[in-house]
Amino acid sequence: MKLKNYNVGLIGLGDISGQYLDTLKHVPNLTVTAVATRHPSSVEQKARQYSIPNVYTVDDLLADDNIDIVLNLTTPDAHYDLALAALNAGKHIYNEKPLAFNRDQCKTLLDAAQKNNLRIACAPDTFLGPAIQTCRRLIDTNVIGKPLHAAAFMQSPGVEHWHPNPEFYYKPGGGPLFDMGPYYLTTLVYLLGPVKSVFGSASINIEQRTITSQPRHGKTIRVEVPTHVVAILTFQSGLVCNLVMSFEVRASRHSGIEIHGRDATLHLADPNYFDTAVTLTEGHYDDNQQYIWHPVPLDFDLPHIRRGFGIAEMTYSMENDKDHLTNGRLAAHVVDIMQTIHESASQSKPLPVKTTCNQPDPLAKELITYCR
């Protein structure tokens, strides 16, 4: 398999950029040719580290006709504006999650991509990895029987204890739902199909946070978004899922995603990772009356492929005239689910999700071979 070569322009050099750059080194048809950031002090060092030839302002990067794809790794408050500017400049766009802050912004981006005949894609791409692909096979081949219901938990004490710049996690576009929710919701939609309606509840029980990480140790953050969110998701199939997203839990035995089928229960340890543990139980007990969980070997192994693999999948789909898996409609549906959960919580009633999407296909096996 040989694909057309694409030049990538990277905007944003935060903590996650290294993972993307390490992955893209292993994708034969993608080359990062330029980098820009709103905080230029860190650009030169990282450009040298990854042999990126051009260091630009954001405007100059968008104006470079040699750049085919813009990789937008800025903080969430800039995702929408930069994605729209890239599309209007004639570039395909791959955004970090979330795609935007609300469903109206998402629609504007989708309309701009369609108008300009461009691709729009969005993280997370962890569902392309071996763990979630293995889960998809187990469901599609009826190993667990018909899925009946599901549960998803992301519970932590927050990010101010480890993240060097945690303020934006507690501002609009942050919080546990918009920060970590895309991993869980994208995975659930990928495995079970689109969501029809939600019933949400949300609260702020810790109104100020004190940073204990460096370099802002001791600084106080005012919390502006709900930090404990609970929702009941009803999928178009009729399946119901309990969802808990929290930055207010010190410790918990509930984590990851469970899908309860008629014949077995499937557990995915953490959809934030490409190769997280997958286990299965048929409900049998051991001598201590504990469920017997069987580790499931993952279907394939791509140890050097992490965040950024979705860009490779997008270009593969472009060359094969297929819809890419990390497509904008999926990302927009996830944003809509999250927005509707917050709206439902504020109105204290269930609400329909206004958008839908197709359930993406399994990953093409040819792409796994191509990126080895």
Q: What pLDDT, in 10s, does the model give residues 262-299?
A: 999 999 999 999 999 999 999 898 888 889 999 999 99
What three-state secondary structure class fits 188?
helix
Q: Which amino acid is at 172?
A: P
The two tokens of residue 107 are 């629609």
pLDDT higher than 70, residue 98: yes
Peptide bond into 164 cis (omega under 30): no
What percentage of the chain exceeds 90 in pLDDT? 87
Q: What is the pTM of this model?
A: 0.96
pLDDT higher than 90, residue 197: yes
- pLDDT, one tens digit per residue, over 103-150 is 999 999 999 999 999 999 999 999 999 999 999 999 999 999 999 999
pLDDT higher than 90, residue 327: yes
Q: How far is CA 111 from the centre of its chain?
A: 21
d(CA 371, CA 352): 40
Peptide bond into 98 cis (omega under 30): yes
Find where tokens 């001791």 sit.
Answer: 218
d(CA 108, CA 304): 35
Query: Which of the four pLDDT bands, split at 50, 70 and 90, describes residue 344?
Result: very high
Find where tokens 């106080």 sit.
Answer: 220
Taking the chain, what is the end-to-end CA distance rounded to the nearest angstrom? Answer: 12
d(CA 262, CA 265): 8
Top-confidence residue, 297 or 303: 297
Give start and end residues of each alpha helix (H) in the chain: 17-24, 43-49, 58-63, 76-88, 103-115, 130-140, 175-192, 309-319, 328-347, 365-370
The answer to whether 282 touches 264, Cβ cutoff 8 Å, is yes
Q: How many CB atoms lie within 10 A of CB 215?
A: 8
Q: What is the pLDDT of residue 343?
A: 98
Find where tokens 């008629």 sit.
Answer: 262
Task: Provide the CATH topology of domain 6-123+305-324.
Answer: Rossmann fold (3.40.50)
Q: What is the pLDDT of residue 40?
A: 66
The structural domains of the chain, with segments of one domain joined by +, span 6-123+305-324, 127-295
Q: Which amino acid is at 110?
A: L
E strands present in 60-160: 69-72, 92-95, 120-122, 147-155
d(CA 146, CA 262): 5
Q: Determine phi and psi for 32, rounding to 5 degrees.
A: -80, 110
Q: What is the pLDDT of residue 15?
A: 81
Per-residue buried b or exposed e for 126-162, using 16+ beta carbons within 10 Å of the residue's own CB: bbbbbbbbbbbebbeeeebeebeebbbbbbbebbbee
pLDDT higher than 80, residue 39: no
- From the options 3.30.2350.10, 2.20.25.90, 3.30.360.10, 1.10.1040.10, give the CATH code of 127-295: 3.30.360.10
The two tokens of residue 239 are 């399946």
Per-residue buried b or exposed e for 283-302, using 16+ beta carbons within 10 Å of the residue's own CB: eeeeeeeeeeeeebebbeeb
What three-state secondary structure class fits 19?
helix
